[in-house]
Structure 1
């Protein structure tokens, strides 16, 4: 499927009340252009500081690890928690570099498995919903995949029009299109036309159509959009694994989930959560454990988080 070049977003307001955000964006762009080795070192430092200062997020991540990985002892979970904060810090620089920097150091050593799966589905004329999770590598690996296929994405709008413009402009350097999370019609049209769309349904999206489906065996409020997209468009739902290793990025496209969709939104949401759980087990320190994934629970169930993690 051929894709026209995406239209750049209109320049946002530049009045005095927006100057602080403009200054922040400028700083982020400058940080995005630092050498990759320096970015990794600074990111590890930022992560170590966040571990000490972001108490509520640290305790939320600690709780998530205890719930999801009870087979690990306390020392192993603590090491994973510290590694997670390190990778969150590095991931902030990866995000900035993906949006506004140079991906050449990453392209120098990247492995991508399963491109033949995407090309086969494209040849069949099917839309493809590429399901992943909120990993710190998601933006950089999305950019690397866009070197090979025309990939669109969905995103949550920013409150600041300046930040909205800056991030959207950065993403449209490599994505074929971007759809806001409230632009369901645009995303559906894209899939019906045989497009590829990246989507992460692994957060508790309040106000959306959700069901409780297990994630690491714990009931998690799960958005049913993956089930609905597949039901309304006939698209294939393809798990997209990605991680950063010591000296390379590894991307893997799996075979489509099957049977999918079924008539049961809970069963389909369970299948999606199981795929994301497998991704997490491959790269546990790179997942966004800071998100309170289990904050909403079935009626009558106890809270999963302490006051420190609220």
Structure 2
């Protein structure tokens, strides 16, 4: 349950029918209509909106360009700019793909493949929970839907500030995930791991050094969360890298779920070494489809004394 309001996630309240919420109801109906559009129209709209966002969201564009500059120094200026633009297009495509997953899931039929499912099955057969080390992908909940075709994933989520929007998103996600765990509910997260669940968890953002250490990410020192070490230690779960991405012709896209072997000796006695290893796993994943990641987040915002500023 969110600390920002007293409503319980997923529950309908009569107050949601008050005029103050009518705009959201209208927007939801509009989004549902977008979900039934042919993909040819959806991807054209996404390209148009992505280009628009790239042009006018100057702060996000600047952050994206800077992230790509430091993470892919081998790219030319032109390549950085083009890939930065594609990040925004992929973000908009991800919105449509998520709408399809929520309201028109049959669109994904015969478009999904998976590699490495046995790594989850083996761990669960041994009675262990699985912490799926993933990323903040532009595919959003469409990625969860892809996974749900092969196993039952849980997800860690942050409740929305608006209670109606939170309720609607929670209910849509309930059709995809076995359980939705509030990011503040550490006890619930540990309980689900102890029960043998597979939980999608993304340790790829900068939350400062109160929750982590400085470790290289694409060769750049970055504040790296280490909370998953404690989760794994307490729950006796295993960490399994998970990545999903779109590939092939954009006019007829295919989707791939890649599951890698469980990370050995995680957590180890060395917090920094663990952070370095996890960052390297994420880095290798992102190199597969670089623009399908939320590069508009300030991944390198924490710069302790002695570290060069990135932004």
Q: Same fold (TM over 0.5)?
A: yes
Unaligned stretches of 5+ in structure 1? 1-6, 306-310
Number of matched residues? 298
Mapped partners of 1:262, 1:29: distance in 2: 47
- Give the C-alpha shift of residue 214 in structure 1: 1.3
Once the two structures are superposed, the pairs formed by residues 131-150 of structure 1 within 5 Å of their partners are 131-150=133-152
Partner residue, 1:308: none
TM-score normalised by L of structure 1: 0.91
What is the alpha-carbon distance in structure 2 between the residues aligned to residue 110 and residue 265 of structure 1?
36
1:30–1:206 distance in 2 versus 1, CA, 3 Å: farther
Segment of structure 1 superposing worse, 209-218 or 121-130: 209-218
Per-residue displacement from partner, 1:81-104 (whole Å, max 9, x unpaired)? 122222112112122222x32222
Cα distance in 2, alignment partners of residues 241 and 170 from structure 1 = 22
Q: Which residue of the partner structure matches residue 291 of structure 1?
A: 297
Aligned partner (choices 97, 115, 118) of residue 116 of structure 1: 118
Distance 1:261 1:35, change over 3 A: same
Q: In the alignment, which residue of structure 2 is the partner of 1:9?
A: 10
* C-alpha contact 2:9 2:159 (8 A) present in aligned 1: no
TM superposition shift of 1:206: 5.4
Distance 2:209 2:39 in 1: 39
Instruction: Please state if 1:266 is matched with 2:272.
Output: yes
Which residue is equivalent to 1:26?
29
Shift of 1:108: 1.6
Alignment of 1:31-50 (within 5 A): 31-50=34-53
| Backbone CA RMSD of aligned residues | 1.7
Q: Distance in 2 between matches of 1:208 and 1:33?
A: 45
Work out the CA distance in 1 between the residues paired with 2:209 and 2:263. 26
SS at match of 1:129: strand
- For 1:206 and 1:18, locate their aligned partners in 2 and report how far apart those are by CA, in whole Å: 35
* 1:254 equivalent in structure 2: 260
Match of 1:178 in 2: 180
Which stretch of structure 1 is more off in the superposition, 227-236 or 89-98? Answer: 89-98
Determine the C-alpha separation between the residues in 1 that align with 2:222 and 2:61.
20
For residue 27 of structure 1, give the secondary structure of its aligned residue in structure 2. helix
- In the other structure, the counterpart of 2:89 is 86
Runs of 4+ in structure 1 displaced over 4 angstroms? none
Quote the offset at 1:170 in angstroms: 0.6
Residue number in structure 2 paired with 1:129: 131
For the 8 Å contact 1:110–1:248, the answer to whether it is kept is yes
Q: Tell me, yes or no, if the aligned pair for 2:156 and 2:180 is still in contact at 8 Å.
A: yes
Q: Secondary structure at the match of 2:73?
A: coil
